[in-house]
Structure 1
Amino acid sequence: MVKIQQKTYLDHMISEADYEYLKRCLLRDERYTYYFLIRFMAATGVRVSEVIQFQAEDIFSGYKDIYSKGNKVRRIYIPQSLRTDTLKWLSFLHKSHGPIFLNRFGSPISPGGIRSQLKTIALSYHMTPEMVHPHAFRHRFAKSFIEKCGDISLLSDLLGHKNLETTRIYLRRSSSEQYEIVNRVVTW
């Protein structure tokens, strides 16, 4: 058996600045479905397979119970600011029930459709496509949550992990962040 050492950094993480830029571009171009998709993933930590399960009724209640990985149910809370903005969008769409993330044909969007469309969106906004993938927003959630709250146990529950070691992976810095810190700290 060969033991493979785990990297001490993450590749392909979207930065806060790129995340904000992407949100502004999507909002400006009225691409609301993808604007809300990335906000949901970044504000709740849901997987791409979970975000497509959200219904309008969940937005009204403020949470969604999802049967997910590991054969367990976990509650996904929708932060108030996201909930308020989503309710305005749903009102604009005259939608009060059913799936909220639909493709251009009116069918529920697929995880594969989201992945490929995010790559196309990244290119259209002159961003690195490898940085704009669904899981990058889950990493963004974990990193922001731990910086502001510090409760790794709660974070592990919110992400639906079986153990804290899985959650720790999300807390690693990207290679570019590590390089930036070294350059800032090492001045001698």
Structure 2
Amino acid sequence: MATGCRASTLRNIKIEDIDMKNKEIIFKHAKNRRQHIIPLADILQDVLKEYLIIRDGMPHDWLFCSRTGEKITKNCLTNSIITYNRRLGVERTGIHTFRHTFAKFWILNNGDVFRLQKILGHKNFEMTRMYVNMFGQDLKYKFDEYNPLSSFERKTSVSMNKFRNK
């Protein structure tokens, strides 16, 4: 949810891929076979610091592993997410939903689409657009705030009030 990475990328992160000093995560395993680096969010950095104390692994170890230290399997990751989501009452439990949710909320929180494309590791904008699938309610979010006519009306109202007060 904090990185927008794919499940296969998540499963292949090693402890050494987390650069706390520079606040970056290196994704060495990506669908397009190209390594890319994304920023490490402050909140995720805090969680990872705590997790790594408990994890107590070596730099070359998998970040998320089985009880025996092996790379976490796809099934184990999927089942863990399903269990976690169901415990919270969340119906949609697919792990890829986190990636789509990350993309959608990136845009709803005023993140720019060009950085989103880079973070998601997409070669073209069309793929990123598919991830940011907006629904009716999403389109209404802050509509008046971003609408040019509303902005014009606010400026006009301020100017008219100044004129009236003179």
Question: Normalising by structure 1, what TM-score?
Answer: 0.62
Change (3 A) 1:143 1:86: same
Q: 2:93 aligns with which of 127, 132, 140?
A: 132
Contact kept? 2:26, 2:35, Cα under 8 Å = no
Where in structure 2 are there 5+ consecutive unaligned residues? Answer: 141-166
Q: CA RMSD in A?
A: 2.7
Q: Does 1:155 align with 2:122?
A: no
Deviation at 1:67, TM superposition (A): 4.0
Deviation at 1:118, TM superposition (A): 2.3
Change (3 A) 1:90 1:132: same
Change (3 A) 1:125 1:158: closer
Deviation at 1:174, TM superposition (A): 5.0
| Identity among equivalent pairs (%) | 27
Alignment-mate amino acid for residue 118 of structure 1: I
Alignment-mate amino acid for residue 2 of structure 2: A
* Secondary structure of the structure 2 residue equivalent to 1:71: coil
Q: 2:75 aligns with which of 112, 120, 129?
A: 112
* Secondary structure of the structure 1 residue equivalent to 2:64: coil
Contact kept? 2:11, 2:72, Cα under 8 Å = yes
Change (3 A) 1:100 1:165: same
Deviation at 1:147, TM superposition (A): 2.0
Question: Normalising by structure 2, what TM-score?
Answer: 0.69
Q: Does 1:50 align with 2:13?
A: no
Deviation at 1:117, TM superposition (A): 3.1
Distance 2:114 2:122 in 1: 10
* 2:126 counterpart residue number: 165
User: 104-113 vs 134-143, which deviates more?
Assistant: 104-113
Alignment-mate amino acid for residue 72 of structure 1: R
Distance 2:3 2:39 in 1: 7
Contact kept? 1:66, 1:76, Cα under 8 Å = no
Deviation at 1:145, TM superposition (A): 1.4
Change (3 A) 1:57 1:144: same
